Structure 1
């Protein structure tokens, strides 16, 4: 069974990316596409697997192909198995023609830099209330993504200072926070020392001190 990735993209638009529709339209015989294969009853309790399929036919948005990966744990599919799917099932593309592959790449801003955020924002129990940017933590050479310097606090109306300070904080990608509340996205390029607090009457963020 092939997964429909669109609900995931809708719920996580800043961390889960699907191919541009213009690239999907160009997929044809000989190209490779990545699909997410869901486990069936035959597979037991194993995770879904993302695997490459070589396209062998296309008619409109319907495609046929052959599995071009050896599954890690799934037993319901095997290398070379025929696969039927739609273009909206595709999560990645490798064009057979490398020059064509490059010509259809459309860069999109990705928010992988890290930030410190209240857990209540991540679990959806509070909206973003206060954002401020400090000097980024330099981290370690092995860190995959750098610190952005952003600190994000959840709505603290009705809480004591002690309750606010006692909140659990998490160190995550900016995109994970934006998936939950992107109302402050327009501020994300503000520099070190910036501090903004939400005016709950208007819903807008105002610079602290204004």
Structure 2
């Protein structure tokens, strides 16, 4: 006899990702999650437990059929993109409220107010050592945006962010690799400069590591 076929996935807990990336990974409010009822659509993060060809995980919609406290169940509402996935539309999915990434309401007029938060998708140029966490920010300045390309979804903010110099020479600093990324990606690593983020072009800031305060240069 063969045993029951076990799912080749697990549902990821998005709260951990949101905590690690608060400026780029947003979740519905507790009130919204608590209000999910049958016939609402919810997005869940499926992580595959087998070797995959293209996607190790996928965010997919599930139509809620039953909601009893924190325990919910429903049917998968879209086709997976991963070719090796055993999931298919209509499959039964059991989950808990904390697994919910996003919601499409069956009755929007009865839903709680959506969460309000600021998003930071404008781009900036930042040293890779800041992004990988090996160095904190020491110096940053904002210039007139000049890096945007035709067709870019998000504008260049003009911010240019440098990691701690740590005694590096001008030549060594010039050789550092940098990336053009969302401001939120930088804030996820080091948000010590958040209070300055709306300053206009021309601002230059140096961090005093003894006090943690940024000093504006004239």
Is the Cα contact below 8 Å between 2:130 and 2:163 reproduced in 1?
yes
Partner residue in 1 for 2:136: 127
Is structure 2 residue 90 aligned with structure 1 residue 80? Answer: yes
Deviation at 1:138, TM superposition (A): 6.3
Is structure 2 residue 193 aligned with structure 1 residue 180? Answer: no
Work out the CA distance in 1 between the residues paired with 2:85 and 2:147.
45
Deviation at 1:141, TM superposition (A): 3.6
Is structure 2 residue 171 aligned with structure 1 residue 171? Answer: no
Aligned residues: 207
User: SS at the partner of 1:38?
Assistant: strand
Work out the CA distance in 2 between the residues paired with 1:77 and 1:99.
32
Superposition RMSD on alpha carbons, in Å? 1.5
Partner residue in 1 for 2:66: 57
Which one of the candidate residues 122, 126, 132 is aligned to 1:117? Answer: 126
Work out the CA distance in 1 between the residues paired with 2:147 and 2:180.
14
Deviation at 1:144, TM superposition (A): 0.3
Partner residue in 1 for 2:77: 68
Is the Cα contact below 8 Å between 1:39 and 1:76 reproduced in 2?
no
Is structure 2 residue 100 aligned with structure 1 residue 90? Answer: yes
Deviation at 1:145, TM superposition (A): 0.2
Deviation at 1:91, TM superposition (A): 0.5
TM-score when normalising by structure 2: 0.89
Unaligned runs of 5+ in 1: none
TM-score when normalising by structure 1: 0.93
Unaligned runs of 5+ in 2: 1-9
Cα deviation code 1:35-91 (max 9, x no counterpart): 0111133x6454211111011111112111111112222533221111111111011
